[in-house]
Chains A and B, each alone.
Chain A
Amino acid sequence: MNKEELTAHVLLAKNGNTDSFCKLYELYYKDMYRFAYYMLKDEEDAKDVISETVLDAFIGIKNLKKPENFKAWIFQILTTKCKRQMAVYVSNRENLSDAEQAMDIPVEEKAYADSIDLKNAFSILNDMERTVISLMVIAGYSSRETAKLLNSKEGTIRSIKSRALTKLSQELKEDFQ
């Protein structure tokens, strides 16, 4: 989709055209889902936040000033929703250890061993590290853009990223330095 098409679809979506909105959504929804999935470590919750994000974004797209920012903008909504959901997890976490959570893998997911490994490896990251890695790896943001999204400093993000990558490589038993 070139820039003119993108702009046109955003304009149409602003006027309530669901077709155009979903064309825009189609461009990014796989990354959006994976982002939510690794952030929340739960398929159902990931699906829920995606649906909420879509509705929010559709209602709010009239406020989107620059069509070319559609991706960043919808990821911002998604990030906010995931963070809110993670705060809920924290408050409910007392009686559920990480080990128990890790055991709780539905059988039908086993076929996707790589993504399960990765999901479990993500469990060793703290919330901030997971957010940073999800944004940078899955959504493809630079450390500067991530810093802006999370209202943090670039240097902070870079150090969080390095630390998280080191932890992940240890957990996934891969050589990385």
Chain B
Amino acid sequence: MNEQEYMNKLKQKAENAPIPESISPENMKKMLDEHMTTTKPSKEQKKPTSSKKWLAYTTVACAMLLVVSGAGLTMATKNMIKQSETSMDMAQEACVEETGAAAEDDASDSDLACATDLNTPESYEEYYDTIKSNLDAYYDSFAQVQDSNKRSDLQVKDFNTSKAENSVVFEDAAMESGTNSDFSTTNIQEENIDEGDIIKTDGKYIYKVSTKIEDGLLTNTLSIIKTVNGKLTLESTIHLDSCFTDNKEDYVYFKEFYLYQNQLVLVFMNDFDKPETTIVIYDVTNKSNPVKKKVIPQSGSYESSRIHEGILYTISNFSNADFSTKKPYENYIPSVAGKLIDCSNIHFPENVLAESTYVVSSIDLNTLEVTDSIAVPTAGGQIYVSDRSIYIYGNVYSEPGKTKLLRVAYREGKLSPGKSTIITGYVYDSFALSEYNGYLRILATISPSNINLLREDSDMIPKTNATNDIINDEAVDMSQLTENINVLYILDENMSLVSKISGIAPGEQIKSVRYIGDMGYLVTYENVDPLFAIDLSDPENPEIKGRLTVPGFSNYLHPYADGLLFGLGEEYDPQTQTFEGLKISMFDISNPTNIQVKDQYILDEAYYAPAQYNHKALMINPEKNIIGFLYQEQVGADNGIYVTNCYFVTYEYQEDYGFMESGMYLVDTEDYDSDQVRGIYIGDYLYISTSNSVTSYQLNGEDAIDILIE
């Protein structure tokens, strides 16, 4: 029996459970009707006083407090948009013609302004009227349900703004050299672009978020812990659930935080009235007494953020605009720091139904003032940030199998929306994107059912055709392809296609990608398991230089010392395809045409490491020659009960000997909490942090020095 058959069998079993009469649709209707007559939903509805109390309420009494828990609803819709082939065929017709473009003509920003296809309204009223008429037309189209063939005939009015064709021209920011201080930092994708996490250190203090259950509710606390040669002292704590609200009934979700100089930058999502992102900044100059400096709310549910050169960029999704009335503007115009986004920074969606509004803000962490804020419509919700652009990308629901990308240029806090494009295929994570010397490189996978889309992409014909382009290969009958294919796209800063390679590893699935300067490396897996090296130095002629076939695959790749590439992944028996454990590999990439495995080590007991899927869970520093991560192993007993053990393990890599295990530490954590475990080092000490404790060790030592239970 395979997994799917077994799941079907379980489902059959599950269906034997009797359904109680009390929850039948008829009874629920009675309850709702009662609710309609007895309760007028209103914001002023009284809230229950204790968080525990609601559990004791009976079903009917729930109506009273659901106004409170109802606040959680809009959040529930976040990202719940499932890809559906039929979902947007109505909406497709609502597409606006490309009739104009925004006037990005603010003289002071002219060097940043991009060519863009987005239009800005003259006033909030114009924005309201345009979108409202679109929405009304859409909903009116359903008034006659029987007439299923009737299609809405939607047309957004023409915009008579002029098109500004300013290209982005700003020089590459000089790369700062890496820090030499001897402590670990969050493992990030792009150098000097910090990413938030649940733990940070400044080389003396550890700042970490712990999660525990109090009064039946999850609570988050940020602890500031002093470290002196492994000794741990708790200096102070910040209660995150109440750090910017006093109302215990409010739902506050801590997302991640940053340490910038002597400030903690905490990012939350909350749902007081509607989904909102909140940035809270604490001054921690005095470790025993953190001082709250600023609370900055931003409309929309949190997507991602980065810090670049002292400026925090925050991206949120404002998906709950309410167009029922023209005023107040707050209902449909997003705001940052309590201020509506300026009209000139709002942009019309091309398609009100398929796109949602993303808010991008920049906050100067030295002055704690909002530098800029814009609202742009696009599809997606996944974010990649280079040192000059923010890319918002994701699936296009009106066009299954395609990915839309919108570029927002940024510099020193100023934001300028650029062009967008749609590529065929889907992008598996942000490491598949890389911007380098003004070109965006993307690796995407196209499933067999969508391969024909490649040929239909008339606007996606590159200026030059790379030799490996499968659609130009007459010998390949596209309709005969039954497996995934992978495509490399190279786009310029106006999001026009420069070149592509569409014949990479047919039948294989991308497992990991890493770009190192002019080279791109990717690992695919299916039958054979190659590592490809792609030369990207000529953006018009990318070329596959070399490939290496090894068993298993790497889920994560990291440039190690010069000419070396580290991989963390899984090992499979080449004959039987049986899983044989986790594997760490070191590849010699000094000669791209002849990649070699320098060393590999198989952890045969281990079956899962959070760092395979979350780069922030990996501790790695080639300069210090240290690699550390948590893995899980499962020990089966005769009685059928499995015990999962978690270990944090550290390695160094020696040219002559290969990988050498330098430490292995049993970590006391629930396995479902293992994603919360991080290892960091400060000097010669290793600190292993779980959701409720920190344990210190001497690097390469075995015995715990100190434990702090939170």
Residues of A whose CB lies within 8 Å of any CB of B are 2-5, 7-8, 11, 16, 18-19, 21-23, 25-26, 29-30, 33-34, 37-38, 43, 47-48, 50-52, 54-60, 63-66, 68-69, 72-73, 76-77, 80, 84-85, 87-88, 90-92, 112, 114-115, 117-119, 124, 126-129, 133, 136-138, 140, 145, 148-149, 152-156, 159-163, 165-171, 174-177
Contacts of A5 in B (CB 8 A): 145
Tell me whether B7 and A137 are in contact (CB under 8 A).
yes
Contacts of B22 in A (CB 8 A): 47
Tell me whether B23 and A51 are in contact (CB under 8 A).
yes
Residue of B nearest to A67 (CB): B142
Stretch in B178-186, B229-237, B608-616 touching the partner: B608-616
Bound Cα distance A32, B10 (Å): 16
Stretch in B63-71, B463-471, B693-701 touching the partner: B63-71
Tell me whether B73 and A77 are in contact (CB under 8 A).
yes
Tell me whether B69 and A52 are in contact (CB under 8 A).
yes
B187 to chain A, nearest CB (A): 16
Check B41 for interface membership: any CB of A closer than 8 A.
yes
Tell me whether A115 and B25 are in contact (CB under 8 A).
no
Tell me whether B17 and A112 are in contact (CB under 8 A).
yes
Residues of B498-535 at the interface with A, using a CB-CB cut-off of 8 Å, are none
Number of interface residues of B (CB under 8 A): 76
In the A-B complex, list the 10 residue pairs whose CB atoms are closest, starting with the nearest: A60-B73, A128-B672, A170-B640, A115-B17, A88-B216, A153-B613, A76-B76, A51-B59, A26-B25, A115-B16
Tell me whether A56 and B142 are in contact (CB under 8 A).
no
Task: Name which of B66, B319, B320 has the most chain A CB atoms within 10 A of its CB.
Answer: B66
Given A11-B142, A171-B640: A145 and B82 within 8 A (CB)?
A: yes
Tell me whether B670 and A33 are in contact (CB under 8 A).
no
Bound Cα distance A145, B66 (Å): 27
A-B contact list, 8 entries, CB within 8 Å: A16-B36, A22-B26, A54-B32, A58-B32, A60-B76, A69-B82, A88-B216, A114-B13
Contacts of A140 in B (CB 8 A): 11
Partner of B32, one of A21, A66, A159, A165: A21
> A-B contact count, CB below 8 Å?
210
Contacts of B26 in A (CB 8 A): 22
Bound Cα distance A48, B20 (Å): 11
Tell me whether B145 and A4 are in contact (CB under 8 A).
yes
Tell me whether B14 and A76 are in contact (CB under 8 A).
no
Check B3 for interface membership: any CB of A closer than 8 A.
yes
Bound Cα distance A68, B77 (Å): 12
Partner of B145, one of A8, A38, A90, A145: A8
Given A26-B25, A88-B216, A153-B613: A127 and B672 within 8 A (CB)?
A: yes
Residue of B nearest to A111 (CB): B18
Bound Cα distance A21, B22 (Å): 17
Bound Cα distance A118, B20 (Å): 18
Tell me whether A118 and B13 are in contact (CB under 8 A).
yes
Bound Cα distance A170, B26 (Å): 40
Tell me whether B69 and A162 are in contact (CB under 8 A).
no
A79 to chain B, nearest CB (A): 9
Tell me whether A87 and B14 are in contact (CB under 8 A).
no
Residue of A nearest to B60 (CB): A51
Given A126-B672, A137-B14: A69 and B77 within 8 A (CB)?
A: yes
Bound Cα distance A135, B9 (Å): 15
Tell me whether B76 and A77 are in contact (CB under 8 A).
yes
Tell me whether A148 and B11 are in contact (CB under 8 A).
no
Binary contact readout B40-68 vs A (1 if CB under 8 angstroms, 0 otherwise): 01000000000000010001001100110
Tell me whether B35 and A55 are in contact (CB under 8 A).
yes
Partner of B25, one of A29, A59, A73: A29
Instruction: Describe A's contact surface by its main secondary structure.
Output: helix
Given A59-B70, A137-B14: A18 and B33 within 8 A (CB)?
A: yes
Given A25-B28, A91-B213: A72 and B80 within 8 A (CB)?
A: yes
Check B218 for interface membership: any CB of A closer than 8 A.
yes
A97 to chain B, nearest CB (A): 14
Check B87 for interface membership: any CB of A closer than 8 A.
yes
Bound Cα distance A85, B17 (Å): 20
Tell me whether B87 and A43 are in contact (CB under 8 A).
no
B655 to chain A, nearest CB (A): 32
Contacts of B642 in A (CB 8 A): 163, 166-167, 170
Check B31 for interface membership: any CB of A closer than 8 A.
yes
Residues of B76-115 at the interface with A, using a CB-CB cut-off of 8 Å, are 76-77, 79-82, 84, 86-87
A17 to chain B, nearest CB (A): 10
Check B607 for interface membership: any CB of A closer than 8 A.
yes
Tell me whether B3 and A165 are in contact (CB under 8 A).
yes
Bound Cα distance A41, B672 (Å): 20
Tell me whether A137 and B10 are in contact (CB under 8 A).
yes
Residue of B nearest to A175 (CB): B1
Residue of B nearest to A89 (CB): B216
Check B657 for interface membership: any CB of A closer than 8 A.
no
Given A18-B29, A18-B32, A155-B612: A47 and B215 within 8 A (CB)?
A: no
Tell me whether A52 and B62 are in contact (CB under 8 A).
yes
Binary contact readout B405-424 vs A (1 if CB under 8 angstroms, 0 otherwise): 00000000000000000000
Partner of A51, one of B28, B356, B612: B28
Partner of B20, one of A33, A73, A90, A154: A33
Bound Cα distance A34, B634 (Å): 30
Contacts of B11 in A (CB 8 A): 137-138, 140
Tell me whether A63 and B77 are in contact (CB under 8 A).
yes
B196 to chain A, nearest CB (A): 15
